[in-house]
Amino acid sequence: MGGDGDGDRDGDRPYGSGHGGHGGHGGAYDVKAHGGRFVAVGGVPHHVVVEGTGPVCVLSAGLGLSWFDWDPVVPLLAPHRTVVRFDRPGHGLSGPAAGPPSAAGEAHRIAAVLDALGLTDPATIVGHSIAGFHAEAFARLHPARTAGVVLVDSSVEEHARIPAAPAVRTAAARVLGRGAIALGIPAALGPLARRAAVRLARAAGGDPAPAALVRRCYRTSRVTRGVLLENAHYGAVAAELLALRARSPLPDAPDAPVTVLAATDGGRRWTARQRGLALELGARFRQVAPAGHLLMLDRPDAVARAVLGQPEPEPEPEPEPEPDSRPEPVLSSSRTPAPPTPPAARPRDAAPGPPR
């Protein structure tokens, strides 16, 4: 059975202008018309979108997400920054992953994408969720190319260890992917799973992504395999990053500030872990409310302020309570109480009289 309605060939090459238009998929997506292009990194076509002007800012989304998940943030940054969005292998419109990911490999991937675009000046790297690992690794391995780091509700693993038998994990992910494809799961459930995951990861609202793009990406075997492979090596990437922290320092904070954004919907324990991450990195910490894990969809303004180095707005003062305009209650009684004794009726030092 074909896994995505187009056969496995959609798992073996990126979607782009001239690659779409297959029945029921919402028509072709013209990459160039939307400011996109493909650049080859490690022999894999990477879908990249560049917009705006000014210092460079790279936006990298979390596991299973795509370039369009940054759409609400881009208009806030593009007047001030050259905004680069790219899909990792097996995500969005990029080609399939050639091998398992690593922290260093993803850091070098960001550098290679920038090189392919001719953007060599220092850049601010923004990483969401698992891509927070990649953003931090970039800053440690390419400090001269780092203007800043923003971690958007980043993954946190304080005690990660390198899992045993990584090759077995890779093989298991591939077997699971082939099984899902044989059963037609990507075509049948891929877009629905995406929509449900986005709703659960937001403080409010659904998935704002265009339905045609969701179908174009999430009905494919390529994306299914890419997500399974990246997820299988999550622990190994986290452990590798901890090792990098021990031997590769971050660039000086004044030259490359780090900001940690934490979504309040994660709960107190998650917020405490994010605060601990900020302390570990010597970073600024900002708690963003209301916001779910997909903070760039719930609060794009907070992400943009962090990238641009703008302070958080002062909370609006609570309005003064309006005076109570209700009339005083009238006591209803059959007996009128006697008026109180005036103060002058008895000298202050006079002794009280005998009881009656």
State the sign of the Cα–Cα–Cα–Cα dihedral 240, 243, 247, 251: positive
For residue 278, is it within any domain? yes
CB 54 within 8 A of CB 68: no
The neighbour count for residue 105, using CB atoms within 10 Å, is 15
Total tally of structural domains belonging to the chain:
1
- Using CA atoms, how far residue 180 sits from 175, 186, 224, 225, in Å, is 9, 7, 8, 9
pLDDT of residue 33: 81
Q: What pTM value is reported for the model?
A: 0.83
**Owning domain of residue 82:** 8-308
Helices and strands (H, E) in the chain, number of each type: 11, 8
Q: Is residue 340 part of a domain?
A: no
User: Is 254 within a domain?
Assistant: yes
107-155 pLDDT, tens digit each: 999 999 999 999 999 999 999 999 999 999 999 999 999 999 999 999 9
Residue 21 lies in a domain: yes
pLDDT cut 90: percent of the chain above it: 76
CATH label of the domain that carries residue 152 = 3.40.50.1820
Let me know: does 236 contact 104? Beta carbons within 8 Å. Answer: no
* 281 falls within a domain: yes
Within 10 A of 314 (CB to CB), how many other CB atoms are there? 6
Listing DSSP states for 178-231 in one string gives HHHHHTTHHHHHHHHHHHHHHHHTSSS----S-HHHHHHHHTSHHHHHHHHHHH
| pLDDT for 253 | 83
Handedness of CA 82, 88, 91, 96 (dihedral sign): positive
- Per residue in 231-282, pLDDT tens? 999 999 999 999 999 999 999 988 899 999 999 999 999 999 999 999 999 9
- In angstroms, the CA 102 to CA 141 distance is 13
Contact residues for 350 (Cβ-Cβ < 8 A; gap 6+): none
Establish if 326 belongs to a structural domain: no
Across the chain, the runs of DSSP E, i.e. the strands, are 36-41, 44-52, 56-60, 82-86, 123-128, 146-152, 258-263, 284-288
Is 198 inside a domain boundary? yes
- Establish if 108 belongs to a structural domain: yes
Q: Determine the Cα–Cα distance for residues 199 and 313; give it in Å rounded to an integer.
A: 27
